Amino acid sequence: MRGAPGRGGAQRPLTALHWTGGVAMIARPKLGAYKARARFMRRKIVAGNWKMHGSRAANAPLVEAILAGVTSERMSCVICPPHIYLHDTWRVLRGGVVALGAQDLCAEAVGAYTGEVSGAMLKDVGCTYTLVGHSERRTLFGESSALAARKFAAALSVGLIPILCVGEQLSDREAGRTEGIVGSQLEAVTQLSGVQALGGAVIAYEPVWAIGTGRTATPEQAQEVHAFIRQRVAAEDAKIAAGLRILYGGSVKAGNARDIFAMPDVDGGLIGGASLKADEFLAIVAAA
């Protein structure tokens, strides 16, 4: 990955140290205090994205097992079933320690949008969170960053917590464009909603090449991009950046979760395949 553009356009290497150095250069009062407390303030999140998997028969034991296994509120656990199963899932979760999330929402509030589901409807059936701009929406269904930004704003407007997904393709990474891609996905949202909007949101960094491939980013690769995201936000608002939860997604499993979650800027995970097996998902929850 190439370094971040420095002041005056110079390229600087992007490391955790760089994050420390970069932030220290921003003259804002109490920044040291934000940074010192920030990691402890940021409650970790593990969210399961079921994608288009499940059935009524299969979901019931899975949700019940997850609910039985999440006993602590030291972290937040979220499950995101397909829309059609949200209400059934809510009837099991009932506002307890495991929260409900959707996988997508319509950018429009109400009206003649056949097949779409609004943020208000998601709230109505018990959702607290919604994914926005998942890479499968972007690559398979042609969603632009501009549309993802509108969906992000729609989620916030009804009180849902958007989990904004960002991430680069393998070709982008190999061409040194990771920061450019992730930065522009983020910027589409901050330009429309303002950086303050990130105070009510979560970001998920999901490198597209790591999704469903079994090829996870190393903890260091994840940390590097997470630090970049936090630094980008800190350049506009250090306090929002310090409190922002940034999840990693892409082939997270019980066996690699602990090392990834131990990175200083990784605040949990967005889990695909491994969220469909209660034991595996609960082991990831335990690692957070």
Positions in the binding site for ligand 13P (CB under 6 A): 49, 134, 206, 211-212, 249-252, 270-274
Select 119 or 272, whichever has its Cβ closest to ligand 13P. Answer: 272
Of the pair 242, 287, the CB lying nearest ligand 13P is at 287
Identify which of residues 104 and 224 has a Cβ nearer to ligand 13P in the complex.
104
Q: Which residue is nearest to ligand 13P (CB)?
A: 272
From the list 136, 168, 179, 206, the catalytic residue is 206
Nearest to 266 by CA among 208, 223, 236, 231: 223
The nearest distance, CB 62 to ligand 13P, in angstroms, is 15
Nearest distance in Å: CB 83, ligand 13P? 15
Least Å distance, CB 257 to ligand 13P, is 11
Helix residue ranges, H only, the chain: 16-24, 31-41, 56-69, 86-93, 119-124, 135-140, 145-157, 170-174, 178-193, 219-234, 238-243, 254-261, 278-287
Asked whether the beta carbons of 129 and 99 are under 8 A apart, the reply is: yes
How many of the other CB atoms lie within 10 Å of CB of 213?
12
Q: Are 146 and 138 in contact (CB under 8 A)?
A: no
Among 18, 134, 179, 224, which one carries the catalytic annotation? Answer: 134
Give 49 or 193: the residue with its C-beta nearer to ligand 13P. Answer: 49
Is 206 among the catalytic positions?
yes
Q: How far is residue 271's CA from residue 38's CA, in Å, rounded to a whole number?
A: 24
Is 220 tagged catalytic? no
**CB 274 → ligand 13P: shortest distance, Å?**
6
Catalytic residues: 134, 206
